[in-house]
Amino acid sequence: MQVYLVGGAVRDHLLGHPYHEKDYVVVGATPEQLLAEGYQPVGKDFPVFLHPKTKEEYALARTERKSGVGYHGFQFFTDTSVKLEDDLIRRDLTINAMAMDDHGQVYDPYGGQQDLQHKVLRHVSEAFTEDPLRVLRVARFAARYATYGFTVAEETLQLMRKIAQSGELSALTPERVWKETSRALMEDHADVYFQILKDCDALEVLFPEINALFGVPQRPEYHPEIDCGIHTLMALKQACLANYALEVRFAVLVHDLGKALTPVEELPRHIMHEERGIPPVTQICDRLKVPTALKNLALIVCKEHLKCHQVKNLKPGTLWRLLQRLDVLRRPEKVEAFIQACECDAKGRLGLEQRPYPQAQYMLDAMQIVRNIRAQDLPEHVSGPEIGEMLIQYRIDALAKFKEKHIN
């Protein structure tokens, strides 16, 4: 029985990239042997065991054969005759098809170290096309390792395009698509994930609402980059640079979906694109089963982001109602997330990435002003329904004084 560290841990060890999870492959063993040594079985489709002490995963070396549609459509074969090379060849990328023994010796039958050196994401074999999930995984790896300058090999991109055009992507469950996408959104270069999906025709299949933005023009005086799709990825890049939370990144990704629905005769203007964006944002959230909190923020950013850009020109009552819709009194963190997404929209424009966004501080100050006014600040004789009405008036009056101070 031989045990090897495999996959991502070997890749990241050689790359000098931080990693936490370790996976092992066991060659020349049977399930009975591992059970006798105290390993706990956890695999449903093929024998995977947890180490009795470390709880790390140990899988028996296996081969696989395509037997159905999608990423579950495989039959697995494990036996003491399965060699390490047989197990590694079924993996997606060469940089993931390396193994290391407990002496630190690397086994690299498919050129993973060379591709690491040349910073290339390349498939191991033609069997790559049998698993549609690999399209998303490669795009996510491209986003993760863009920092190091990695690119997807052209021949691998062609295979990804073949998968996208085959219809197999429809076999992916919404939960799996969202899992891969949410992980990709938290990478430092999340924009690369969506660009790679577009390059291999998968964006049109999995995210048609986002794909529809590419090629749609905007007014160059506001958007020097012109293209709505390019702007969306530039705004997402700003969210990554600022290390914002997942909910902010997702809201930025979908904030302009309404622009794809602008009538051609109105282009390059996008009147009412905020309202037009509500149905496609709702559609993408419902289809992918996006968590409710993320959906709610995405919808309000879509609908209200122009008001944040114009906040200094809003009437005090209008600003109060905006803050109310953002649930300012109960969830100030939602207001902050909204502001962050709007700032990414403002800075996700060609040549304007570094421009100041004073609207952010203005909104934050306004939020604090209304939150500081409470029932105990009202005259003692006020009671019943009058309390709520007077609180609103006090807050609007305070916002009026705040605005006057900024004007002067």
Q: Is 342 helix (H, G, I), strand (E, B) or coil?
A: helix
**Binding residue per annotation — 137?**
yes
H or E stretch including 63?
strand 62-66
Question: How many other C-beta atoms lie within 10 A of the C-beta of residue 117?
Answer: 10
d(CA 121, CA 193): 13
Give the distance, in angstroms, between the CA of residue 79 and the centroid of all CA atoms in the same chain. Answer: 38
d(CA 194, CA 140): 9
Q: Which residues contact 10 (CB under 8 A, 6 or more apart)?
A: 98, 99, 100, 106
The closest of 192, 218, 196 to 349, measured between CA atoms, is 218
d(CA 168, CA 152): 21
What type of residue sits at position 204? Answer: E
**Binding residue per annotation — 140?**
yes
**How big, in percent rounded to 5, are the helix, strand and coil portions of the chain?**
55, 10, 35
The closest of 249, 189, 258, 276 to 218, measured between CA atoms, is 258
Q: What phi and psi, each to the nearest 5 degrees, are found at residue 405?
A: -65, -40
Name the token pair of 64.
Answer: 């696989």
First to last CA, the chain: 80
Q: For residue 30, give Cα distances in angstroms to 27, 37, 42, 87, 328.
A: 9, 11, 15, 15, 60
Buried b (16+ CB within 10 A) or exposed e, 74-102: bebebeeebebebbbbbbbbbbbbbbbee
**Binding residue per annotation — 21?**
yes
Give the distance, in angstroms, between the CA of residue 118 and the centroid of all CA atoms in the same chain. Answer: 26
**Binding residue per annotation — 23?**
yes
Q: What phi and psi, each to the nearest 5 degrees, are found at residue 153?
A: -60, 140
d(CA 334, CA 341): 11
- Binding-site residues, please? 8, 11, 21, 23, 91, 137, 140
Q: Which positions make up the binding site for ATP? A: 8, 11, 91, 137, 140
Binding residues for Mg(2+): 21, 23
Which positions make up the binding site for CTP? 8, 11, 91, 137, 140
